[in-house]
Structure 1
């Protein structure tokens, strides 16, 4: 399982910790990933996703998973999230 948010696309960043004496030490900055179960109102079922805490706040701010996926760009979504977005769009069209 990769350390990447399925909705926002946030992933591991690599950088340096710099001490007072200006020594550099490589480090990894990990995203704050949480396992959540979100409810899709249009599909009428729940979906388990691994997303960042920031993305979870964004989902709640936009009014739910369906609204978030409608506004989200295809490039930042994971394959599972893109399939879910397509499924919701097909359900709305029908």
Structure 2
């Protein structure tokens, strides 16, 4: 399983451990990933995703998964997140069509 956030695309970074004697050795900084189930209001069901803690705060800040995905760039999203985004857009257009009729 890759260590990449499904919503933001945030992945591992490379840096150095620096000792007191200023010796440098390579290390990896891994993102803080969590398995969460986010509720989609439009779809009416939960969606399981593996996202970073900062992405979870961003989802809460924007007002939920539906609003976050509406503003998210497609290049940052994973395949599953893109599929969910398309389902949400399809459901929203269907709701708008029923309201107009």
Provide TM-score, normalisation by structure 2. 0.90
Over the aligned positions, Cα root-mean-square deviation in angstroms equals 0.8
Deviation (angstroms), 1:82: 0.5
In structure 2, distance between residues paired with 1:45 and 1:19: 49
| 2:46 aligned counterpart, secondary structure | strand
Where does residue 33 of structure 1 map in the other structure?
33
Report the Cα offset of residue 22 of structure 1: 2.2
- Note the C-alpha offset of 1:92: 1.1
Structure 2: gaps spanning 5 or more residues: 95-101
Moved over 4 A (4+): none
The structure having more radius of gyration, on CA atoms, is 2
Displacement of 1:20 after TM fit? 2.8
Aligned residue pairs total 94
Q: Secondary structure at the match of 2:34?
A: strand
Q: What's the secondary structure of 1:39's corresponding residue? A: strand
Paired residues for 1:4-83 under 5 Å? 4-83=4-83
Describe the superposition over 1:5-52 as per-residue Cα deviations: whole angstroms up to 9, x where unpaired. 000111011111122322111101010001100000000010000000
